[in-house]
Homo-oligomer: A and B are copies of this chain.
Amino acid sequence: MTKYSLFKQAPGLPVTVTLPDWVQNLVHWDQPYADDQAKMALAIELSKQNVLQGTGGPFGTAIFDRATGLLLGVGVNRVVPHSNSTLHGETVAIMQAEQALGHFTLAAAGGRELFTSCEPCAMCLGAVLWSGVNRLVCAGVAADARAIGFDEGPVFTESYQYLENAGIEVVRGFMQPEAKAVLDLYASSGGRIYNGADAATD
């Protein structure tokens, strides 16, 4: 690769975003998830398995159709394995659901809802808005992520107010202890904290 001396591979090639193989064994697409607790339990289990299987950071997201309770898409953090700082649990789940549904917005008459194991960072809070879901349910709070070293970026009280003004119902701190336990598991097992300003040392 003498032509592109800074690069490890030629620039401009397609970027492929995958879910870890274990995900399909954890989810069910054919039966509804019964209630908020079942939906959030899935998001948190995704975050936990992502740590245990070593396939990314300690964050998981699941998106549901509100009218039926059916799962539309899931995501886990893939930043380090995919060398891609945009691949948080929320963005991966949104990409997945939109691709499966074949549209750039999840907006629908009965509404869609996004369950995430931790309050979204600044990037993902914006991504939630563009996804067209009309309900956002968060387990861990931003302080839980910050406590183990993750930056959450510029998220303010007004940021959540903006979502609510756009018609998105926001629930925060639902099943927070279970989600925080996964963050603490990641930290105690030496999981990598991959903020943007980290020096590119490998």
A84 at the interface (CB under 8 A from B): yes
A72 at the interface (CB under 8 A from B): yes
Docked pose: A199 CA to B195 CA in angstroms:
35
Q: Give which listed residue, B71, B85, B94, B153, contacts A98 with CB less than 8 A.
A: B85
Copies in the complex: 2
A154 at the interface (CB under 8 A from B): yes
Closest-by-CB residue of B relative to A160 is B154
User: Is the CB–CB distance between B99 and A15 below 8 Å?
Assistant: yes
Interface residues on chain A, number (Cβ under 8 Å): 82
Chain A interface main SS type: loop
User: Is the CB–CB distance between B196 and A101 below 8 Å?
Assistant: no
Chain A 61-89 interface residues, beta-carbon cutoff 8 Å to B: 65, 68, 70-74, 79-80, 82-86
User: Is the CB–CB distance between B99 and A9 below 8 Å?
Assistant: yes
Docked pose: A85 CA to B177 CA in angstroms:
31
Residues of A within 8 A of B (CB): 3-4, 6-19, 23-24, 27, 29-30, 65, 68, 70-74, 79-80, 82-86, 91, 94-109, 121-127, 129-132, 151, 153-154, 156, 158-159, 161-163, 166-167, 194-200, 202
